Amino acid sequence: MRIHELKQRLRAAGAGPSHEHRVLRLWTHAQPRDSGRRRPASFFPAALMAALPAIEAELAGLARVHSAHPAADGSERLLVELADGQRVESVLLPRGGLCVSSQVGCAVGCRFCMTGRDGLLRQVGSAEIVAQVALARQRRPVRKVVFMGMGEPAHNLDNVLEAIDLLGTVGGIGHKQLVFSTVGDPRAFERLHRQAVKPALALSLHSTDGARRRHLLPRAPDLSPEALVSEAERYAQASGHPVQYQWTLLEGVNDGKDEIEGLVRLLSGRRGLLNLIPFNAVEGAGFSRPEWARCEALARTLKARGILTKLRDSAGQDVDGGCGQLRARAETLRRGGQRVALPQRAAAAAHPRG
Ligand code: SF4
């Protein structure tokens, strides 16, 4: 279900704008129908009251927790089952953050990511995206929503932007606290500029060398790193939110001096933050995680060269599954196959967007 279809259904059942607003607010905030001062029976028209149980049941069935995996750092990974049995991952982050999935699978096929291995299976509908937020709010408060879970949001723009519009209005999430993450796509840049609710932008950069980036992200749009950074900057100026540049650190691939020089060249004087995220093992990916001390040294060097840099470890390091890995493992079990064997550290998030 999409949000505009839900709104049409509410209108068809006799809802006026204030009734629609209240139903959507209750849903997005995971509150029961009788919360608030005004009793539902005196506020909603009788026809809408009669239709609400079926609509609410459908909304509740959009997403349910298949399994929950709390971690020592306060994060919790959820394997979420959608109404048709497909599964995606959401991650409750410390300090009120939530990472949601926008697609089942992904067509970009980044070489270091488990989600991209099966290609795109289907889009996640706008109501299913918001349902991930409602589900998370049943467990704890959510004040920030990042679109860094499974999928490339730029490949599901209508649904993602519709969800962002709702979350940034009745959903009560600040616009800067909505983070649209992308490998960089001209269609996404163009649409973001036209948004009334302008989210912050996270750009998955991973290399300043065009050929290396094309190799790592084989089906990302063929824009040079220079063009990507300049598009991102243009949006940062328009939205007023600094860009987050995401960088998965791969040992011996993009952790060398050439990339440091490239980053200084590309990002000096820009309105952005570079997030360095050491890679977490994905079976068969053929990449390694640099030693932590080396990552720290890189971050120090970049800071000393004037680049605002944060070294981040993915949330849920001790959880048995990362972005795409929980789902892959569950699918293997569902098909009666062998458990996907991952080393201890592979339990951590593999997603490059942090
Ligand atoms: S890293 Fe993101 S964009 Fe790349 S394949 Fe995985 S989900 Fe898709």
pLDDT, one tens digit per residue, over 145-162 is: 999 999 999 999 999 999
pLDDT, one tens digit per residue, over 343-352 is: 222 223 334 4
CA of 49 to the centre of ligand 1 (A): 42
The better pLDDT of the pair 36, 236 is held by 236
Q: Round to whole Å and give the CA distance between 29 and 135.
A: 9
Residue of 115, 124, 181, 353 to test ligand 1 pocket, by largest number of atoms within 8 Å of CB: 115
Q: Is 153 in the pocket of ligand 1 (CB under 6 A)?
A: no
| Angle formed by the axes of helices 126-137 and 157-167, nearest 10° | 40
217 CA closest ligand 1 atom index:
4
pLDDT at 342 > cutoff 60: no
pLDDT at 13 > cutoff 70: yes
116 CA closest ligand 1 atom index:
5
What is the reported pLDDT for 100? 96
| pLDDT band at 220; cut points 50, 70, 90 | very high
What is the reported pLDDT for 285? 74
Contact assessment for residue 221 and residue 183, using Cβ atoms and an 8 Å cutoff: yes
183 CA closest ligand 1 atom index:
3
The angle at the Cα of 56, spanning 2 to 5, to the nearest 5 degrees, equals: 20
Contact assessment for residue 278 and residue 295, using Cβ atoms and an 8 Å cutoff: yes
pLDDT at 322 > cutoff 50: no
Average pLDDT taken over every residue of the chain: 89
Active-site position among 99, 113, 295, 323: 323
Q: Is 114 in the pocket of ligand 1 (CB under 6 A)?
A: no
Q: Round to whole Å and give the CA distance between 158 and 37.
A: 35
| pLDDT band at 144; cut points 50, 70, 90 | very high
| pLDDT band at 246; cut points 50, 70, 90 | very high
Whole-model pTM over 0.75: yes
Q: Is 109 in the pocket of ligand 1 (CB under 6 A)?
A: yes
Taking CA atoms, 331 is separated from 47, 85, 326, 328, in Å, by: 42, 11, 9, 5
Question: What residues are paired with 163 via a beta bridge?
Answer: none
pLDDT, one tens digit per residue, over 102-123 is: 999 999 999 988 888 889 999 9
Active-site position among 76, 89, 231, 259: 89
Query: Terminal CA-to-CA distance of the chain, rounded, Å?
Result: 28
106 flagged as catalytic: no
113 flagged as catalytic: no
